[in-house]
Amino acid sequence: MDAILLQILNGLDKGSAYALIALGLTLIFGTLGVVNFAHGALFMIGAFCAVTFTNLLTWSHVVIDDTRKDFLGNPMKVDVPYIIDWFGKETGEALIDWAVPLSILFAIPVMIAIGFIMERGLIKHFYKRPHADQILVTFGLAIVLQEVIKYFYGANPIPTPAPAVFAGSFDFGAMLGFDPNTIIYPYWRLIYFAFSALIIGAVFAFLQFTTFGMVVRAGMADRETVGLLGINIDKRFTIMFGIAAAVAGLAGVMYAPINSPNYNMGMDFLVLSFVVVVVGGMGSLGGAVLAGFLLGILESFASMAVVLEFIPGINQIIIYLVAIIILLTRPRGLMGRAGVMED
Amino acid sequence: MLGLTKRDFGLMVVVAILALAAPFILNPFPQGSAMAQFNAGYPDLMQRLVIFGILAIGFNILFGLTGYLSFGHAAFLGVGSYAAIWMMKLLTMNVIPAIIVSVLVAGLFSLVVGWISLRRSGIYFSILTLAFAQMSYALAYSVLTPITGGETGLQPKTSDPRILDGALPAGQSPSANLFGFNMSDTSVLRLGDWSFNFNTGYYLAAVIMLIVFYLSIRIFRSPFGMMLRAVKSNQQRMNYTGLNSKPYTLAAFVISGMYAGLAGGLLVAMDTQVGAERMFWTASGEIVLMTILGGAGTLIGPVLGAGFIKYMENIVSKINKTVLEQWFAFLPDGIEDLLITLVYPFVGKGWHLTLGLLFMLVVIFLPGGLVEGGQRIGKLFRRKKTDTTTKTPPAE
């Protein structure tokens, strides 16, 4: 029992990342009808927003500290971040410690801007082109974005720690009446899950309960009619692209402490997220989220030692295997709508 | 001739001349000159040019004719490579059985993958093939380590059985050969400052490339090829006329898988080692890049694309800061520094950035690839010519 609970918990954080990326992919596909292979790169850029923001906060100047001496007896030179000069030691250090959560504020405008530029500058011109062309051009864009990041930040992963408060682990087992230390779970992953649930809820609420969201949903169902009613649906879809980019970016920001950002991380997630989207059903937002969590949890179950003893290596391929089976038995995916990408 | 129309035969002859004379054509600059770094006439690169040419020709039979975009062709390349290396380990270092078996195994594997993947079309097909390729990659890396060597990969060892070969003389390591001709043998022809390399392995690969290129022309011009084109232009209408398109697409898939297997076998024949990373999905992406860049659906396009990418990869990634400084040395200091900072991100380690940009530009502006570019330029000149002829008043 406790082992099963542990695996479900373990699956949640990866599942959250899959769900967030798949949600963005589906938003873009559902509104614009574009298959965006650069979405993983957006996730990666989000993670690097966290890195950039941390760098900005710790931007420092050298101060000679007379109280301490280095081994030669000279006064020691210490890097002091400007932020400590401005806000005082306490506040400054707290701000630096909380760099990752704070970089959400930085990432949202940046990601929305990147989304706008991508849509207006490139993807707009590909609505009428075949899907193969869309895949190819966004694939090229993904390579370019990745290489640009690599040029500025290098090829090595950059550790980006979470605030010290969340460094420990949470003992779930003790709370639920199991032996202590059987089910422990890092705080940050718990927060990641809560955060992604919040984002997913916000996106759904936005689409469901606002006039803007209603128009967008109408546009997803029948773009032409909405256009005929005198609504500028293109403008709204562009905004949705920006939101989808922001969702992927936020997923990346919060993932930075779990997995140190490197320029390649987007590609790994992209392939899996595509599989998630297909399993969930192309164009179905609920399906994307459901399949994201489902596959994340399945993956963590498959990496249990007991399962691996039976079927070695299953943890490596389970997601692909499930995708193949689903596509062959339920071609529309778990919650796919009729008439979406049926060709 | 050879069952080809005059035009195709002309194309075939041009390709044959280019392939056989490649050691000369790719080495236009004398050794030791400043331009020598643009020479591509060394065996390793020439082999890669033709082998990836084969791969792209095969991919083009699937993508160019039927429009099915496979993102998993690297898996067939990898499977072919593993089959070839096992033949070398178990049977003989002669490359013939290795190449034949690599084609057969890749064909069987692509039959299975194609049979399943081709139930769906469009983006679903792309994702299914991608899933299969990633699965093969993950398996080769982890569970199948006894067969694939896992992270370290495979290479022939002196302790391998090799039942058809005699015992190796002591102190000699096994090397791939064709009835005694060593694949890595290179004879060098020196003419003045120039030196040209003639490599056994390259010529084997080039001859095989010519054979499969001929085959692909025949496929393009055959009724079978016509069927595949019909699938691309309107599969629904084809089905309504009572034709089952599945056998045709499956055949195209298996043929292109066999081409990929052949390329994999040849890669092993030239350089006897295999690692799982050649099955990674970026490798599949590279195959797509080559075909699109050259021009999907054209005969010569994929070969051009493969050659172009592999050449640029080797040459551009060799350019470093000192080379750039040499180039721009004649300029005033300020402009020199500016140019170097501008160009530097795109060369050397930044080669992938250049590749990505190039690829985007091609997809955006030249969906037909280099071939279409050539045609457009050709048309530009021809139109001018016809314009002038029509405007000239008839001679009295």
A324 min Cα distance to partner chain B (Å): 7
Query: Do the chains contact at A141 and B139, CB–CB below 8 Å?
Result: no
Domain assignment present for B305: yes
Mean pLDDT is lowest, of A13-17, A46-50, B181-185, for: B181-185
CA B244 to chain CA centroid, nearest Å: 31
| CA nearest to A269, candidates A46, A50, A73, A76 | A46
CB contacts, 8 Å: B359 with chain A: 136, 139-140, 143
Q: What is the pLDDT of residues A33-50, one digit of tens each?
A: 888 888 889 999 999 999
Q: What is the pLDDT of residues B18-52, one digit of tens each?
A: 888 888 887 777 777 767 777 777 788 888 889 99
Amino acid identity for residue A19 in this structure: A
Residue pair A187/A211 in contact (Cβ under 8 Å)? The answer is no
| CA nearest to B137, candidates B306, B291, B271, B284 | B284
> Given this model, what pLDDT does residue A339 score?
58
Nearest CB partner across the interface for A327, out of B128, B134, B282: B128
Domain assignment of residue B297, given as a range: 6-316
> Given this model, what pLDDT does residue A342 score?
52
Residue A52, pLDDT > 70, answer: yes
Residue B191, pLDDT > 80, answer: no
Q: Does A343 touch chain B (CB under 8 A)?
A: yes
Domain assignment present for B78: yes
Per-residue DSSP letter, B289: H
If you average pLDDT over residues B334-363, what whole number do you get?
82
CB contacts, 8 Å: A299 with chain B: none
- Cβ burial, residue B355 (10 Å; 0-12/13-18/19+): buried
Mean pLDDT is lowest, of A60-74, A218-232, B105-119, for: A60-74
State what percent of residues in chain A have pLDDT above 90.
15
> Least CA distance to B345: which residue of chain A?
A151
Specify the higher pLDDT residue, B34 or B186.
B186
ipTM of the complex: 0.80
B331 min Cα distance to partner chain A (Å): 26
Query: Do the chains contact at A343 and B122, CB–CB below 8 Å?
Result: yes
The chain-wide mean pLDDT, for chain B, equals 84
Residue A83, pLDDT > 90, answer: no
Residue pair A55/A155 in contact (Cβ under 8 Å)? The answer is no
Q: Which residues of A59-81 are buried (b: 16+ CB within 10 A; e: fewer)?
A: eeeeeeeeeeeeeeeeeeeeeeb
Residue B304, pLDDT > 60, answer: yes
Query: Do the chains contact at B128 and A317, CB–CB below 8 Å?
Result: no
pTM of the model: 0.84
Q: Does A316 touch chain B (CB under 8 A)?
A: yes
Nearest CB partner across the interface for B127, out of A136, A275, A328: A275
Residue B105 φ then ψ, to 5°: -65, -45
Q: Does A321 touch chain B (CB under 8 A)?
A: yes
Rounded Cα distance, A1 and A11, in Å: 16
> Given this model, what pLDDT does residue B210 score?
92
Rounded Cα distance, B45 and B205, in Å: 12
Mean pLDDT is lowest, of A163-172, A287-296, B210-219, B236-245, for: A163-172
Specify the higher pLDDT residue, A132 or A243.
A243
Residue B80, pLDDT > 90, answer: yes
Which of A324, A328, A342 to mutate: most B Cβ within 10 Å?
Answer: A324
> Given this model, what pLDDT does residue A81 score?
78
If you average pLDDT over residues B369-380, what whole number do you get?
86
If you average pLDDT over residues B96-123, what whole number do you get?
90
Domain assignment present for B61: yes
> Given this model, what pLDDT does residue B81 score?
93
Domain assignment present for B154: yes
Confidence at A68, pLDDT banded by 50, 70, 90: confident
Nearest CB partner across the interface for B345, out of A142, A151, A274: A151
Confidence at B170, pLDDT banded by 50, 70, 90: low
> Given this model, what pLDDT does residue B171 score?
67
Task: Give CATH for domain A2-56+100-329.
Answer: 1.10.3470
Nearest CB partner across the interface for B138, out of A147, A275, A316: A316
Residue B101, pLDDT > 90, answer: yes
If you average pLDDT over residues B345-365, what whole number do you get?
83
If you average pLDDT over residues A271-280, what whole number do you get?
84
Residue pair A142/A270 in contact (Cβ under 8 Å)? The answer is yes
Query: Do the chains contact at B124 and A324, CB–CB below 8 Å?
Result: no
Which of B115, B151, B360 to mutate: most A Cβ within 10 Å?
Answer: B360
CATH number of residue B124's parent domain: 1.10.3470
The chain-wide mean pLDDT, for chain A, equals 83
State what percent of residues in chain B have pLDDT above 70.
94
Nearest CB partner across the interface for B357, out of A139, A144, A321: A144
A320 min Cα distance to partner chain B (Å): 5
A343 min Cα distance to partner chain B (Å): 7
CB contacts, 8 Å: B141 with chain A: 316
Domains of chain A, by residue range, sit at: 2-56+100-329
> Given this model, what pLDDT does residue B263 score?
94
If you average pLDDT over residues A10-24, what whole number do you get?
86
Could you tell me how many residues make up chain A? 343
Q: Does A127 touch chain B (CB under 8 A)?
A: no
Domain assignment present for B394: no
If you average pLDDT over residues B317-333, what whole number do you get?
76
If you average pLDDT over residues B311-319, what whole number do you get?
82
Confidence at B293, pLDDT banded by 50, 70, 90: confident
Confidence at A338, pLDDT banded by 50, 70, 90: low
The residues, any chain, with a CB within 8 Å of residue B228's CB and separated by 6 or more, are B61, B65, B66, B248, B249, B252
Specify the higher pLDDT residue, A198 or B27.
A198
Confidence at B160, pLDDT banded by 50, 70, 90: confident
Nearest CB partner across the interface for A136, out of B131, B142, B363: B363
- The set of long-range contacts for A178-184, using a CB threshold of 8 Å and a minimum separation of 24, is A178/A1, A178/A2, A179/A2, A182/A2, A182/A6, A183/A2, A183/A5, A183/A6, A183/A9
> Given this model, what pLDDT does residue B346 score?
78
Selection from B80-84, B91-95, B235-239, B380-384 with the highest mean pLDDT: B80-84
Helix (H) / strand (E) element for B199: namely: strand B194-199
**Domain total of chain B:** 1
> Given this model, what pLDDT does residue B213 score?
92
Interface size, chain A vs chain B, as Cβ–Cβ contacts under 8 Å: 105
